[in-house]
Amino acid sequence: MSDRSLRGMRLGAQSMETESGVEPAPRQRIEYRCADGEQVFVTFSAEAEIPPVWVSKTGKEALLVNGEAPDTSNDKPVRTHWDMLLERRSLPELETILADRLTILRQKRGEKV
């Protein structure tokens, strides 16, 4: 048994297929540029829809060179907690509620009201 040894290849290390006759899918190299002038190149498929904004490796937003500016007009304004509270209650109501809650808090602490 020792005179015969099995020889093989490592799993996943090498492929038995050759790349002759294989044509890669068509690609396009797209350029983006950050506000500080940093260039970002991204390779997409020729059929892919190109996004107008790309986040670079440094975390900055880069805009498509020679492309349309992104449409931000549909973005809703940021609503804060205070804005949502004012939609439900008026300022006199809020002042009354605050006074009531402060009274309850002071009573729990044993303070004179």
Q: What is the pTM of this model?
A: 0.48
73 located within any domain: no
Q: Per residue in 99-109, pLDDT tens?
A: 999 999 999 99
105 located within any domain: yes
Mean pLDDT on 63-90:
85
- The CATH number of residue 41's host domain is 2.20.28.270
20 located within any domain: no
Residues 6 or more apart in contact with residue 69 via CB below 8 angstroms: 52, 63
DSSP codes, 6-58:
-----TTT--S---TT--PPPEEEEEEEETTS-EEEEEEETTSPPPSEEE-TT
- As for how many domains the chain has, the answer is 2
Q: What is the mean pLDDT of the chain?
A: 86
pLDDT band at 1 (very low <50, low <70, confident <90, very high): low
Q: Per residue in 6-42, pLDDT tens?
A: 666 666 667 777 888 888 899 999 999 998 989 999 9
Q: Per residue in 82-95, pLDDT tens?
A: 999 999 999 999 99
97 located within any domain: yes
Domain with 86, as residue range(s), is 79-112
Q: Are residues 60 and 89 in the same domain?
A: no
pLDDT for residue 6: 61
37 located within any domain: yes
* Beta strands across the sheet bearing 39-45: 39-45, 27-34, 61-64, 53-55
72 located within any domain: no
101 located within any domain: yes
